[in-house]
Chains A and B, each alone.
Chain A
Amino acid sequence: MGSMSPAFYPIRQAMKPSTILNCTTEYRTKTGLNIVLCLKEDYDISILKGMCSMEGFAPWAAVIIFLLMFILIILDKFERHWVTLSCAAAVLIIVFGICLHSWPDVWEVINLNSIFTTSFWIGPSESSSVGINWSTIIFIAGMMVMVEGMAQQGFFRWLCLWIARLVKYRASRIFLAFMVMSFLLAMFIDSITVILFLAAVTVELGKLLHFNPVPIILSEIFCANLGGSATMCGDPPNIIIGTSLHLSFADFIVNTGLLAFVSLFLVMLWFWLCYHKRLQKSEKYVQTMTVFPDPKEAIENKTGFIVSAMIFLLAIVLLVSHAQTGLTVAFIGAFIALVTLLAAGKHVPELLKQIDYKTLLFFIGLFVVVGGLEETDVLTVIADLIARISGGNMVPVVLIIIWVSAAASAFVDNIPFSAVMVPVIRTLSAVYGLDLNVLAWTLSMGTDIGGSATPIGASANVVGTAVAMKNGYPISWKSYMKTAVPATILVISVSSLLILIRYVWI
């Protein structure tokens, strides 16, 4: 096991007060800054040259820009895509241009040339390891087009109402069925869309059937995040992990998928124990009702509805079989978008208007900022820190990654977090010989599930609680976390244990 010596380790060593004795040398940097060095006589001046040069400042600039980006996202004064794009421009100009004088690195981080290679569309290689992950961008854009097409045709509303009718509009059965539906849909569709529709229909059914929709919405949110962890395309962190580390849909489903399915059973049991009495109380009212909503009312155009459902099925087939067909997720995203647009006919402009291009721009900016951290070895330092704490052993590394990822994702957006952590686990694997795939599953479960713990941890939580509030059901942090935190701890504990049993101990 080798030890790392990243660019700015000497800075910390040089700053130790014990090394300072007297002022002996005056040093003039490239920017004309006069620095009087206070050194022990035997101290190597070359160490400090790196620190004082603009090159030595690059990692600090990258870290400062990254932290600034995080703070600006939290402050929400500007739209977050402008924040990441501005910070990306700052990284390109300050870090790569001014500090590193490395304009070729700018091109490498922008990574546009990867799109024009055959392997980007067909083959085992998904994406370049540094900079903008265009596979993720194109796949997410493609799925957005498909989902908008399905929403326009009333697919999600029809599905929700059809399931509600199937379980005879009993609140406790709707509760269980919607948890499973949320899990299954989020395996293939982004959890924001899943919750947007599920929560809205849940509120509507709640008003009609006289039950409180909040317990069901909270359970749906958790199951959507859990379902997202089961596949490569379910949650943005998984798309980033999968495309960056060249993992397939099948790789995810037999690893994180298995963990997610086991967890689903436990989570359903947990939420059932928490809420079923409250929901059963409202079921007496249903027996007095004579008129129920007809799922068919959700469909305006039957042909369009069938076509959108077929496109969804095609997307699932292509994703499930992409390791066998050799089609990359970027290809699948682009192809599905094209088919959806062809099927939309005259509704294309309407459909394109609904695309959340802000999220795509957010991702582009984010990848550049993370590329800045990666190129300046900052992430190597984090990897080295984890390795030092764990002694390079797999058990503590797994436990640190899953629990730290879960705790961090509970409070900060798990998308930037996972984008940062992918290069970290790649370094851990390359330098310390740890199994990269195991680290990938660990990171995936930590970021996807950790985000469920608080109302701000994942986008689905934000959307679900916002929809509830807009309909007159405010959800406090306390009431959210009362059930979500134990459920998160339960799933993370079970996942940690199963990962260790399956990949480390046996």
Chain B
Amino acid sequence: MKPLIISIDRQYGSGGRDIAHILEKKFDIPYYHHRLLREVGIHQDYDIDEIRDMYDESPRYLTASRRVRGLVNSNEENITQREFEFLRSMAQQGKSFVVIGHCSEELLRDYGVISIFITGDDDFKLKRTMEKYHEDEAAARARMKRFDRKRKNYHNYYTNTKWGDVRNYDITMNSSRLGVEKTADFLEAYIRQRMEEAEKASEE
């Protein structure tokens, strides 16, 4: 069986992470999100959630870091490069996995990645964010805006393509139409179809 690599990028609050979790279970393959940080060797003394909030999927802040003799002291860039190396090596080894964000649709394009972008209506995303973080509307909106901007800047800094541009992904879905679970079901069917097509192609 050919390795299965699923890349999911998402707008904040759209349920992309939950969908990735569901697909992880349905296909019984590992799911990398902030677990990536442990895989790339962040020392166990560090609080991984704190490191994720501060540096993971963040662009390099040019005024806060410098490059000397090829070494750059941006924690964001160092973590990103190590994550990229890890994901590439997993793909090269023929491993199957689900990865969320991390420019993976672009990074793993040559490894037959199935790339998905999850979007959602503002009201849907807002409601989910308010419930999850017990925040009022203003705080939840600010959070969504902050994270979407961060993800966009991160993606556009490390790739030559634009974050959320439908041309970069195999499928772009609005999770507010069917809800998170049914969206995941739909995607499962799509992925299985893709796997069948890939098997047929390799047999031919």
Is the pair B68, A477 in contact by a Cβ cutoff of 8 Å? no
**Chain B: minimal CB distance from A102 (Å):** 35
**Chain B: minimal CB distance from A385 (Å):** 25
Name B56-111 residues within 8 Å CB distance of A. Answer: 62-69, 71-73, 75, 78-79, 82
Per-position binary interface string of chain A over residues 411-424, scored 1 when its CB falls under 8 Å from any chain B CB and 0 otherwise: 00100000000000
Is the pair B63, A74 in contact by a Cβ cutoff of 8 Å? yes
Chain A residues bordering chain B, tally (CB within 8 A): 28
Is the pair B78, A456 in contact by a Cβ cutoff of 8 Å? no
Tell whether B191 is near chain A: CB-to-CB under 8 Å.
no
**Chain A: minimal CB distance from B62 (Å):** 5
Number of A-B contacts (CB under 8 A): 67
Is the pair B45, A212 in contact by a Cβ cutoff of 8 Å? yes
Is the pair B41, A475 in contact by a Cβ cutoff of 8 Å? no
Is the pair A192, B69 in contact by a Cβ cutoff of 8 Å? yes
A residues apposed to B, CB below 8 Å: 74-76, 80, 192, 196, 212, 356, 359, 413, 455-456, 459, 461-463, 465-467, 469-477
The 8 A-B pairs of least Cβ separation, nearest first, read: A466-B71, A472-B41, A465-B73, A474-B75, A469-B78, A462-B68, A472-B43, A466-B73
Is the pair A456, B66 in contact by a Cβ cutoff of 8 Å? yes
Q: Determine the chain A residues whose CB is within 8 A of the CB of B73 once the complex forms.
A: 455-456, 461-463, 465-466, 469
A74-B62, A212-B45 known; A474 vs B69 contact (CB < 8 Å): no
A462-B66, A474-B51, A474-B55 known; A467 vs B43 contact (CB < 8 Å): no
Is the pair A467, B71 in contact by a Cβ cutoff of 8 Å? yes
Q: Determine the chain A residues whose CB is within 8 A of the CB of B64 once the complex forms.
A: 455-456, 477
Q: Identify whether the interface residues of B are mostly helix, strand, loop, or mixed.
A: mixed
Is the pair A474, B63 in contact by a Cβ cutoff of 8 Å? no
**Chain A: minimal CB distance from B35 (Å):** 15
A-B contact pairs, 19 of them (CB 8 A): A74-B62, A76-B66, A80-B67, A356-B69, A455-B73, A456-B64, A456-B65, A459-B66, A462-B68, A463-B68, A463-B71, A463-B73, A466-B68, A466-B71, A469-B73, A474-B42, A474-B51, A474-B55, A474-B75
B residues apposed to A, CB below 8 Å: 40-43, 45-46, 51, 54-55, 62-69, 71-73, 75, 78-79, 82
Instruction: Compute how far the CA of A477 lies from the CA of B64 in the bound complex, rounded to whole angstroms.
Output: 8
**Chain A: minimal CB distance from B40 (Å):** 8
Q: Determine the chain A residues whose CB is within 8 A of the CB of B69 once the complex forms.
A: 192, 196, 356, 359, 463
Instruction: Compute how far the CA of A455 lies from the CA of B71 in the bound complex, rounded to whole angstroms.
Output: 13
Other-chain contact of B67, A462, A469, A471 (Cβ < 8 Å): A462
Is the pair B65, A459 in contact by a Cβ cutoff of 8 Å? no
List the A residue with the shortest CB-CB distance to B72.
A466
Instruction: Compute how far the CA of A456 lies from the CA of B62 in the bound complex, rounded to whole angstroms.
Output: 10
Is the pair A459, B68 in contact by a Cβ cutoff of 8 Å? yes
Q: Determine the chain B residues whose CB is within 8 A of the CB of A455 once the complex forms.
A: 64-65, 73
Q: Determine the chain A residues whose CB is within 8 A of the CB of B79 once the complex forms.
A: 469, 474
**Chain A: minimal CB distance from B159 (Å):** 15
Is the pair B78, A475 in contact by a Cβ cutoff of 8 Å? no
List the A residue with the shortest CB-CB distance to B81.
A470
